[in-house]
Every structure is written in C-alpha cells, then in structure tokens.
C-alpha cells in the first residue's frame, strides 16, 4: 500500500531550476491538462512519493491514486488529462514501438537540456545537492 495520500488532482513535477523545462511546463499549462504542473523544488516530495534524485532525473507524474510515472510516460499521462487531440497524442506515446522511441527521445532531451535554448549549467542532470 502506498504511503501517498489521495489527491484531488494529479501532479506533474518538473525541474524549476531549468529554463528549458520551465518553458516546456508553460506550454503544457496552455494545453490545459487537468493536473497541477509544479517545480519539484517547491513540492513536498515525501508526500508525493518521489525522491529528489527521481525528480531531478526526469519529469514525474503522480496520479491521484499515488501512481508515479516518469519521463515520456509522465508526459503521456499529463497529455491524457487534456483535450481530445492531446489525449490521443498521449496514448500514442505509449504504443508498442513508439514508446521505445519516445523513451529514447525523452532521455536524449533530458540529458542535454542544459544545451537547449534557455538551458543553463544548472539544468544538467546530476546530484541535486550539487545543483542548489
């Protein structure tokens, strides 16, 4: 049984220290998912059942039941709470074959986010204690 309490809305955690990630979160907010989109640095990670290491490595989705998804699966989950077209896009990210490619693409972006427009050295994936 999960120690995470039931939530009214799911949560997508992103890296608020990363300008690229923050811009992407803003795009997701404009899409209008039925979820909270918040920087992990301002979240009660223990309550959400997510570690700082997990949150700094990839976006994290915490469902209302406490289920945690990471990376491309988290993106698929948040899109799954938006409008019809976005739900279809989210489902497509999890299709056999597509999911593997989406996971690789997500990891490539996440590992290099500090090199992307708006990224800074603070965006580099690594020990969260060293990034503060």
| pLDDT for res 117 | 72
- Better-scored residue on pLDDT, 70 or 118: 70
Phi/psi at 128 (nearest 5 deg)? Answer: -60, -30
| pLDDT for res 3 | 45
pLDDT tens by residue, 11-45: 999 999 888 899 999 999 999 999 999 999 999 99
Is 14 within 8 Å of 21 (Cβ atoms)?
A: yes
Give ∠ CA 98-14-124 in degrees, rounded to 5.
90
Asked if residue 7 has pLDDT above 90, the reply is no
Q: What is the mean pLDDT of residues 37-60?
A: 96
Residue that has been written with the tokens 């019809």 in this structure? 84
pLDDT bucket at 124, cuts 50 / 70 / 90: low
Neighbours of 6 (CB within 10 A): 9
Is 123 within 8 Å of 21 (Cβ atoms)?
A: yes
pLDDT tens by residue, 77-114: 999 999 999 999 999 999 999 999 999 999 999 998 88
Phi/psi at 82 (nearest 5 deg)? Answer: -100, -165
**Domain chopping of the chain, boundaries:** 11-123
pLDDT bucket at 125, cuts 50 / 70 / 90: low
């Amino acid at each position: 049984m999960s120690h995470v309490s039931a939530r009214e809305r799911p949560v997508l955690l992103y890296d608020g220290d990363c300008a690229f990630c923050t811009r992407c979160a803003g795009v997701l907010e404009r899409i209008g998912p039925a979820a909270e989109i918040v920087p992990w640095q301002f979240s009660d990670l223990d309550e959400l059942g997510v570690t700082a290491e997990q949150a700094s490595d990839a976006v994290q989705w915490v469902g209302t039941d406490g289920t945690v998804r990471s990376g491309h699966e988290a993106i698929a989950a948040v899109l799954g709470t938006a409008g019809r077209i976005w739900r279809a896009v989210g489902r497509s990210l999890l299709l056999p074959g597509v999911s593997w490619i989406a996971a690789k693409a997500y990891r490539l972006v996440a590992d290099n986010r500090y090199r992307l427009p708006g990224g800074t050295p603070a965006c580099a994936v690594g020990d969260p204690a060293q990034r503060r």
